């Protein structure tokens, strides 16, 4: 019986190629499980991830649990301080055991030097919806008229309206 050939055609996933490098870099910061870094928003939730970033995990001399250092802006620090226990529980759930005993919050400016430089995501600004150009809609309908399939014709009309009514820079 011939050996099973994969369907990747010689290609590998990016995560497979970058996994060892990510693990090596995260272990130098004390992150035994690099998943905490790569899946931060999923682990702690979108609200906390928008205002905080994990910096390092440091282990004490006695070895009784680690300290997770989290970077946040000065304005968000009091809110994050109230959520420290929730943050600790969620990170420990990602580790699978009580690896983190303490959470230390470090305040910084949104931009700065070296370690303190952090860019926190903000919600994307909503673009104002422009009124559709009636001339562009008519022109798009004329161009798509020869297409017999109804769904395809509607999709082409929508595409045409979007392209023709797009603002020129």
CATH entry, 14-116, from 3.40.30, 3.40.50, 2.60.40, 3.30.300: 3.30.300
Cβ neighbours, 10 Å, residue 16: 10
The predicted structure's pLDDT at residue 57:
79
**Bridge partners of residue 102, in order along the sequence:** 67
The span from the CA of 24 to the CA of 70, in Å, is: 20
- Let me know how long the chain is: 169
Q: pLDDT at residue 8 above 70? A: no
State the pLDDT confidence band at 19, using cuts at 50, 70 and 90: low
Most confident of 14-28, 87-101, 120-134: 87-101
Determine the angle formed by the axes of helices 150-164 and 134-144, rounding to 10 degrees. Answer: 140
- Asked whether the beta carbons of 90 and 44 are under 8 A apart, the reply is yes
Residues of the chain with CATH 3.30.300: 14-116
CA 17 to chain centre: 19
């Amino acid at each position: 019986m011939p050996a099973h050939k994969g369907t990747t055609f010689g290609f590998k996933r990016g995560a497979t190629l970058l996994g060892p490098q990510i693990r090596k870099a995260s272990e130098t910061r004390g992150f035994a499980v690099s998943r905490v870094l790569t899946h931060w928003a999923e682990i702690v939730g979108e609200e906390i991830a928008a205002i905080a970033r994990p910096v390092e995990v440091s282990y004490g001399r006695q070895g009784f649990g680690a300290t997770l250092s989290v970077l946040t802006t000065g304005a968000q620090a009091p809110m994050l301080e109230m959520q420290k226990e929730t943050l600790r529980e969620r990170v420990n759930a990602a580790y699978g055991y009580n690896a983190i005993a303490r959470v230390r919050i470090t305040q910084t400016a949104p931009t700065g030097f070296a370690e303190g430089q952090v860019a926190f995501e903000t919600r994307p600004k909503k673009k104002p919806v422009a009124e559709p150009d009636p001339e562009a809609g008519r022109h798009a309908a004329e161009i798509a008229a020869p297409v017999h399939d109804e769904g395809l014709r509607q999709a082409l009309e929508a595409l045409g309206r979007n392209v023709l009514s797009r603002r020129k820079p």
